[in-house]
Amino acid sequence: MSSETLDVIELLLTAEIYNNQEELIVNDIPSKIRKTLWDAKTRNVAKPIKPNKTMIKTMFGIEDTESALKINGKPFAYAIVDAYTGNARLTEGSLDAAAEWFKKQEGARDRILENPVLAYYFGNVAEEKDAGVDYKAVASKNPPKEASREWIESIIEELSEGKGNGREWLKLAYIKAPEEVRESMDELILTERQKNELQKIELAIKNKEHFRNIGLYDIGKVLFVGPPGTGKTSFARALSKKLSIPIVEVHLSMITDQYLGETSKNIDRVFALAKKFDPCIMFIDEFDFIATSRTAEGEHAAIKQAVNTLLKAIDNTSLVEDGVLLIAATNHTRKLDEAVWRRFDEIVDFERPTLEMRKDILDTILRRIEGDIDTESIAKKTEEYTGSDLRMVVREAVLSALLENRYNLVQSDLESAVKSFDRRSGLKMTAFIEE
């Protein structure tokens, strides 16, 4: 059976079942199908869904629905394509027979286990229920609508229809859908404390209602502290993917304006923007850029005003009320004053990785690269290196292997990369001192 045939028949089954089972909701539709059916206005996939040839082309790149629906040269008995409207559907009353047929095809099981709508049918509705299909489990693996780019686009759409300033706000932040995030938690090597913090953040988000009920509103503000290259940005992004909620990335250098009054306004705007994306992560990078000690010498009143606006904006943002999980990242601890610290309920330390962590980081980076490398020995030679430094070392090693027409790595590639990295950072150090 060609996979195109199964694509179309899976879609027709999904439509039929989704339309007729009240319990099924938009998040049960597999994301590939959902993208095409998505309605930005209502942010939903309204019932009934009516697949047609154009949709099928968009979803699967299938040019000719009729021929995709042919089996051994004959049209599939349980479906019809309306020659006039291009609509495709199962024939009246043939759902059970079509499903029965589908189930027997090669590869069908994988499709059922990735499609909550089908899982619901085969596990809970069909005459002969399949005990091996757990709808709830399949549904929990399907990315929710908030994980998709369309979700973000529909909110942006709405923003632009507003009083006309919504679009402007978008210049103040990068907004990413979880499905676009490349970083993932299992590629990050975390300390026990970081893992523990991660669990707490997840629990806080999952139990928002509980916190509201008991009157604890001040949760969901986290400060990441540590030198550059220790995984702060990667952690925030990976969290967006793990929790399937968008991430609104704010760089304070993006919102500082030469006119400080404008900076204060931008701060308010960017927080208002994040609140539109409920639920989301708002990640404020370069936090120390503005949250410098307010008592520092020679500071203008206007900077103080901007800092105060920022602090007030943080106070007025809540995970419980606004659905915004606030994460700020800073390289410098000393630059932040007491008033800033107090605003965060969790501080997560990002330190330079230990020997053991360096080995694990190297193993992770080298996972897809051919070559038998003693990573422990490299880890021993890279004290003080951050995760980002280790990535650079591996990149350098890969490039020098390529110079010798090799795709695989040998120990000496990495060893020389470490040496040249040491030399370079040594240079950087002298340049810095001379400045």
Ligand X SMILES: Nc1ncnc2c1ncn2[C@@H]1O[C@H](COP(=O)(O)OP(=O)(O)O)[C@@H](O)[C@H]1O
* Residue number, 59 or 282, with CB nearest to Mg ion: 282
Query: Which structure tokens are listed for 112?
Result: 């059922």
Tell me the C-alpha distance between 282 and 273, whole Å.
Answer: 10
Q: Is residue 284 within the footprint of ligand X (CB under 6 A)?
A: no
DSSP, residue by residue, 325-337: EEEEEES-STTS-
Q: How are beta strands 346-349 and 221-225 bridged, if at all?
A: parallel
The interface with ligand X within residues 175-194 (CB under 6 A) comprises 188-189
Least distance from C-beta 385 to ligand X, angstroms?
10
State in angstroms the smallest separation of the CB of 227 from ligand X: 7
Own/partner long-range contacts of 126-134 (Cβ < 8 Å, ≥24 apart)? 126/96, 126/99, 127/96, 130/103
Stretch that binds ligand X, among 51-59, 126-134, 227-235, 309-317 (CB under 6 A): 227-235
For the bound state, the minimum distance from the C-beta of residue 235 to ligand X, rounded and expressed in Å, comes to: 7
361 binds ligand X (CB under 6 A): yes
Is residue 65 at the binding interface for ligand X, with CB under 6 A as the rule? Answer: no
Q: Are 328 and 172 in contact (CB under 8 A)?
A: no
217 alpha-carbon distance from chain centroid: 25
| Residue 230 found at the interface with ligand X (CB under 6 A) | yes
Contact 86, 80 (CB under 8 A): no
Work out whether 355 is an interface residue with ligand X (CB under 6 A). Answer: no
Residue 127 token pair: 């005459």
**Residue 361 interacting partner from ligand X, Mg ion, none (CB closer than 5 to 8 Å by kind):** ligand X
231 binds ligand X (CB under 6 A): yes
> Which residues inside 71-110 make contact with ligand X, applying CB under 6 A?
none
Q: Determine the straight-line distance between the first and last CA of the chain, rounded to whole angstroms.
A: 69
- Using CB under 6 A as the binding rule, whether residue 229 contacts ligand X is answered as yes
Q: Which is nearer to Mg ion, 68 or 390 (CB)?
A: 390
Phi, psi of 318 (to 5 degrees): -140, 140
In degrees, rounded to 5, the angle at the alpha carbon of residue 359 between the alpha carbons of residues 354 and 365 is: 120
What gap in Å lies between CA 235 and CA 370, rounded to an integer?
27
DSSP assignment of 346-397, as one string? Answer: EEEE--PPPHHHHHHHHHHHHTTS-S---HHHHHHT-TT--HHHHHHHHHHH
Q: Count of residues binding ligand X (CB under 6 A)?
A: 17
Q: Name which position in 391, 406, 410, 411 contacts ligand X (CB under 6 A).
A: 391
- Tell me which stretch binds ligand X (CB under 6 A): 130-138, 247-255, 306-314, 385-393: 385-393
CB nearer to ligand X: pick between 31 and 233: 233
Which residues make beta-bridge pairs with 248?
Answer: 175, 282
233 in contact with ligand X (CB under 6 A) = yes
If the CB atoms of residues 47 and 391 are measured against Mg ion, the closer one turns out to be 391
The listed partner (ligand X, Mg ion, none) that binds 18, CB under 5 to 8 Å by sort, is none
Is residue 352 within the footprint of ligand X (CB under 6 A)?
Answer: no
Residue nearest to ligand X (CB): 387
| Residue 387 near ligand X by CB under 6 A | yes
Locate 190 and state its tokens: 């975390």
Distance CA 411, CA 374 (A): 7
Residues at the interface with Mg ion (CB under 5 A)? 233
**Smallest distance, Mg ion to C-beta of residue 256, A:** 17
The answer to whether 166 contacts ligand X (rule: CB under 6 A) is no
Q: By the criterion CB under 6 A, which residues form the site for ligand X?
A: 188-189, 228-234, 350, 353, 361, 364, 386-388, 391
